[in-house]
Amino acid sequence: MRNLSFWKRTLLIFLFSFTIFGLMACGQVEQTTKDITDLPIATNIENFNNYEELKAYLSTIYDETEQGYLFKNAGSVSIMTADASYANESTDTTAQVDRTHSESNFQVEGVAEDDTVLTDGYHIYICNWENFFIINADTLAIEYTYQMDNGYLSGMFLEDGHIVLLAYQYTYTESKNSEDTYYWYHYSYGAKVIVFDVSEVSETVEPTISKELFFDNSYINDARMIDGYVYLSMNNYVINYGFAADEAYYPVYRDSYYGTEDINLPAQNIYVMPNDNYSINYMMLVSFSVSDDAPAVVNAYIGSSYQIYMSLFNLYTVTYRYTYDQSTGWYDYSTYVLRFGIDEDHSLVFQAIAQVSGCPLNQFSMDEYDGTFRIATTNYNYDSGSMQIENSLFVLDATSVDTMTKISELGGLGLPNERIYAVRFTNDIAYVITAFQSDPMYKIILTDPANPVLADELHEEGVNDYVHVISDTLLLGVGRASQTDGDRSWFTGVKVELYLTNEDGLTALDYYLAPGEYSYTNVSWDHKAFMSFTPEGEDFTYVAIPIYEYYNGYNACSQNVYVFKVNHSGSLELITTLSHMNEDIYNGSYWYWDSIERTVIIGNYIYTISNNKIQMFDMASDFAYMTKTELGSNYWNLVD
């Protein structure tokens, strides 16, 4: 949830990502010197013995100047090896709840992703920029509010009576020089984790903070939780542009287990990884328990991370590489995939690496199943004076050590000039959607990993940006319809489409097009905005999708949550639309301030949550409005 304007948020993230703040070292280890030829190299996962060894290694990446060591481009990439074991023990994450309710939309069952709205059936927990709210689900009374000072909340986890808040905290100071002729502006920032015990929370009992972590100069790339253990993938920017020998050139963090003092990450916890030195920072992997007071396990790798995928057994992180080809004047795109297994102490241990051509679209482009890792990529090749787009599906061995061996590759997906718009894996089947303006959906059978079979392809106008599995035989696509006039095509609005998938292939069953001259949904880029819930014993699934619409030549607009009933017999039914706005303000300029971001179902009640408020509707009484609660006073109030 956010309550600052898009541009202010963008500016903050820009400042966070590119500001370098050095802390003086508050602890020392034994320092020795080594010859450069004895240092860890990027062909192996090796750690450093001490800070002097780390500094010597960094000096091979940075040029020494009067201002310190500044970034230079070394431009070399190597495959690394390591001796590690494969973690394959299953994890039971089944939780018993008293009230049936919807869950956040996670990619992998048992692997939770952080979200801004969660529920346990009795309370609704909301992250709203700098505020964290605990809402009574029966009355919508705010039972607790936590306000973040000098920062904002990005998401949270809920596990066994504990809430884990993920946040960013920053400071901004200004000062003048001695002549008072100009200002110095200084920013410092970091990622913060706050764990609350909410097991006894009520109107008279407040939650207690049980754990706090802070990672200086760090930004959370992504996070997961399995069976009460949180795993963070972060990028630390303390050496992004360079470093000074008399300042911290290693990650610094705080853990409430040790108190409030800064902790210098030991050199033995810092490793090399393959990188081309185009983007140098520390990729930090952190794991900790939600419920006990044990310290977090923190390790850092010299390199960077972009996207992650996590199964019950492994975390995969991808790093993109772009190599300039002087003969063509074009760049060759490739992706390194690093696998980290979950160790017995729940820490992440490097296992293996692979390289594939092209780049994945998002986390849904990756999947692990039955000892294999599957990844779909789009590659851009420059050939004979023109750019060629190639879409491929790779199957890799996820049990091997050091290198994930390629088992098979299926290329040639998509028509000319089409890239991948969506991917969904379910067991031994992959659905890959490519598009330029039309939408071929490919069904690929992966029962034999060495021989992927293109079982069927369905061609339609428009494109699906997100695909959700309803059942073994039903898929729901959320995307955009298109219109064609001669050689010109354009997207016209949100489409929601139901598909039958069985042994005979793919069949379109039912279709809904949102009204308006143009409409869009944030489900296209934020899968957590999509809500699905199957009531116990019923043969249908509720689906809620927020949709933005324009009217009257883009002079009027609105935003609603469209609630569908997906009947398992194979039909799609729109049953209601819910809004936080009145008809008379649809022409207003600030309609988006009260757009619904999340939807929750508890029993027979459905809740819509925006930055401004939470509303409650009775599904058993034709979605009758029940009550609402305002969440903040720093918005334009657009409704009565």
Reported as a single tens digit per residue, the pLDDT across 75-119 is: 433 333 333 332 333 333 333 345 899 999 999 999 999 999 999
- Mean pLDDT across the chain: 83
Rounded to an integer, the average pLDDT of 352-358 is: 92
Residues 255-282 as b or e (16 or more Cβ within 10 Å = b): bbeeeeebbbbbbebbbbbbbbbebbbb
How far apart CA 100 and CA 611 sit, in angstroms, is 25
Contact 73, 278 (CB under 8 A): yes
Contact 39, 20 (CB under 8 A): no
- Comparing 73-82, 162-171, 315-324, the range with the smallest average pLDDT is 73-82
How far apart CA 510 and CA 476 sit, in angstroms, is 10
Q: How many CB atoms lie within 10 A of CB 547?
A: 23
pLDDT, one tens digit per residue, over 186-237 is: 678 999 999 999 998 888 889 999 999 999 999 999 999 999 999 999 999 9
- Comparing 21-25, 575-579, 631-635, the range with the smallest average pLDDT is 21-25
The 3 state secondary structure assigned to 225-283 is EECCEEEEEEEECCCCCEECCCCCCCCEEEECCCCCCCEECCHHHEEECCCCCCCCEEE
The percent of residues above 70 in pLDDT, for the chain, comes to 81
* Cα 460 from chain centre: 29
Residue by residue, DSSP assigns 105-125 as --SBTTBEE-BSEEE-SSEEE
Contact 372, 449 (CB under 8 A): yes
pLDDT of residue 311 exceeding 50, the answer is: yes
The pLDDT score that the predictor gives to residue 272 is 85
For the chain, what's the residue count? 640
The pLDDT score that the predictor gives to residue 332 is 80
Give, for 572, the enclosing helix (H) or strand (E).
Answer: strand 571-578
The pLDDT score that the predictor gives to residue 185 is 64
pLDDT of residue 636 exceeding 60, the answer is: no
Does 322 or 311 have the greater pLDDT score?
311
pLDDT, one tens digit per residue, over 35-46 is: 333 434 444 578
pLDDT, one tens digit per residue, over 141-150 is: 999 999 998 9
The pLDDT score that the predictor gives to residue 308 is 96
Write down the pTM of the prediction. Answer: 0.86
